[in-house]
A and B are shown apart, each in its own frame.
Chain A
Amino acid sequence: MNDLELDVRPILRHGGEPFGAIMGAVSRLAKGQRLKLYATFKPEPLFHVMASQGFSNEASPLEDGEWMVIFTPVDGERVAVVESSPESPETWPDPAHYLDCTELDPPEPMVRILAQLEIMPEGEVLFALLAREPIFLFPELKLRGHAWVGNFDAAGEAYRLMVRAGGQK
């Protein structure tokens, strides 16, 4: 059976996020078919996700620091559900809690977010909307072992933050 080839280098060069394309390709794989992936860097975070899907990997460097990885399905191990991994926000479940902190002055958003995370089980996700980037919250999230992603909305007026509760340290 031919390998399914996917080249995400153009997406990466344009600053895009190739995860959707990769998961799309995975879902198109026939039983037993391998995925041959081309990327501009060694996609180590992906290895974990693919392992949780039941794929082993074999990575080989190309020229100019680029990489080709062959993902081979391990018989009987392939599972339908992607396990939530702190490193891969794409695998996180939908947020279970929402906090609107846009009207709160600093450091109140930080207090509310940390208080909410304190009562959340590991793996649950919190979505918070803030008036500005919570710079002082990030070191605290890191110290407590939570993973997070965030960015400004298109208008640049609100900061959207997703935090995945980690094992409390």
Chain B
Amino acid sequence: MPGASLSRWTLTYFACALLCLVGAEALMVMGFGFPGATIEAPETLILVHLVAIGWLSLLMCGALFQFVPVLVARPLLGDELPPVALAFILTGLVILLSGFAGMTGLVAVPAEAMPLGGLLLLLGFGTAILSLGRTLWAARPLTMPARFVVVGLAALAGTALFGESFALILSGLVGGEAALSLLLNGVPLHALLGLGGWLTFTAMGVSYRLLAMFMLAPETERFSTSVVLATGTLTLMLIAAATPFALAAESGLAGMLLAAAVTGLCALGVYGSDMLALYRQRKRRNIELNAVAAIGAFAALLAACLLLVFLLFSGSLPEHVGALTYLFAFGWLGGLGLAKLYKIVAFLTWLECFAPVLGKRQTPRVQDLVDERHAAPWFGVYYLAVGLGTLTLLVELPLVFRIVAGVQLFATLAIIRHLYRARELLNVPPDLRRGFARPHPFWPQPIARKLP
């Protein structure tokens, strides 16, 4: 029974992720990419990949390096791999984005940069999958949340392979009819596997455990959860199975995606009822800000599902796919990410600083590290901005969207300031803090006490 210890690199991942989030939001304020440019424009590709890889994927990887050992109650295998993966992913991302910039003529970068960036990203995510996968493999039979993570990691591999294929085709290194057809028809598959499979499915699995843990809800495995796992996996398999249709430009593609939309909405519906049950069955009456703020993310997920159904029935999905993606990425995934960061950063910092002296002297509580009263309104502002941003995209008011994105950026910076204050123990009363070394905000120090 080894248990899990702190992941040294998780906070570095979080810091890089937040930097990308701020960068992406700043680009939106400046009117870079969609909606100023078309959804296929290289500028939009830069924005989308900065959010999907830089913000959301780095956040998820960092969280999983800490969380998978908790899920399976054993230490991470290959714990020298997280910094390697981070270096590959960051370099790959920078090269990929400069490749996109080269497409627009913003900078003079050869077209081959894109497949090189994609290759580095493949290596980076492959390294992460190797480390997490080995840990999960050694812990079979897996609990339900861990199975979600396995499916999510498979979707990540699929997403990265799709991305590299596109990069090869865009740079002209790979040609032919099938390749062109894949580029023209396969983008939704890439996006769905990434946002739906890797990020959403993993976040769903993680949320089952995290929310139950911090709200003291019973952690019994529900039948409904296995329904979510099965229908969600089926959805992702349908999306992956649509690849041959995209390659051959056959008409079956739309049918496959419609079937995936039906099973996917089923999975999300049952998941929603599970989350509702978790909140209802909790033993803690007063829940912490991370659980309150997560409600905004669930509301955004619900709103995104309703919007998807509406757009499908009205036949206007192609025009409004940008608004839908924005709501999904910033409301659901980004909102959940920020909400959970608020707890995880404080918890990891508390463990890092005070675990060695617990019981030996008085230490602050985890809640002493945060200032929920002052942080809570910023989550409200963030969700409000995302909601309004979606509306302005739907009714096509690009200038108003930029103003709202400015509000979103401001709220994000305010939340990051609160994360920094928690990390630096600035909310802890000075007399309780005295004598404890403050940790570096995001650069891991060698762990002073090694396990024997």
Contact = CB atoms under 8 A, between A and B. Distances in A.
Interface string B350-389: 1100011011100101100000000000000000000000
Contacts of A148: 1
B128 to A, nearest CB: 21
B244 interface: no
A138 interface: yes
Contacts of B284: 105
Interface string A100-137: 00010111101100111110000000000001111111
B218 A157 contact: yes
Contacts of A118: 359-360
A28 interface: no
A138 to B, nearest CB: 3
A114 B362 CA distance: 12
B360 A150 contact: no
Nearest to B213: A106
B452 interface: yes
Contacts of A136: 3-5, 70, 351, 355
Interface residues of B, number: 31
Contacts of B319: none
A140 B358 contact: yes
B219 A143 contact: no
Given A107-B350, A135-B4, A143 B366 contact: no
Contacts of B283: 103
Contacts of A132: 213, 219
A97 interface: no
A103 B356 CA distance: 24
Given A107-B366, A133-B73, A139 B451 contact: yes
B3 A143 contact: no
A139 B350 contact: no
A103 B213 CA distance: 11
B105 interface: no
A107 B359 contact: no
B2 interface: yes
A139 B2 contact: yes
B347 interface: yes
Contacts of B220: 156-157
Nearest to A117: B359
A78 interface: no
B210 to A, nearest CB: 11
A102 to B, nearest CB: 9
B214 interface: yes
Contacts of A116: 359
Interface string B327-366: 0000000000000000000010011000110111001011
B369 to A, nearest CB: 12
B16 interface: no
B216 A131 contact: yes
A97 B3 CA distance: 23
Contacts of A117: 359
Contacts of B4: 135-136, 138-139
B434 interface: no
B451 A143 contact: yes
B449 A150 contact: no
Contacts of B356: 140, 143
Nearest to A104: B216
Interface in A142-157: 142-143, 148-150, 156-157
B358 A114 contact: yes
A140 B358 CA distance: 9
Residue with the greatest number of chain A CB neighbours at <10 A, chosen from B1, B215, B350, B356: B1
A131 B360 CA distance: 24
* 9 nearest A-B pairs in the assembled complex, by CB-CB distance: A138-B3, A114-B359, A115-B359, A118-B359, A114-B358, A139-B5, A135-B4, A135-B3, A135-B70
Given A107-B347, A107-B350, 16 more contacts: A103-B216, A111-B358, A115-B358, A116-B359, A131-B216, A132-B219, A135-B69, A136-B4, A136-B70, A136-B355, A137-B3, A138-B2, A139-B3, A140-B355, A142-B3, A148-B1
13 contacts: A106-B213, A106-B214, A110-B358, A111-B363, A115-B359, A118-B360, A135-B4, A135-B69, A138-B3, A139-B451, A143-B356, A150-B1, A157-B218
Interface of B: 1-5, 69-70, 73, 213-216, 218-220, 283-284, 347, 350-351, 355-356, 358-360, 363, 365-366, 449, 451-452
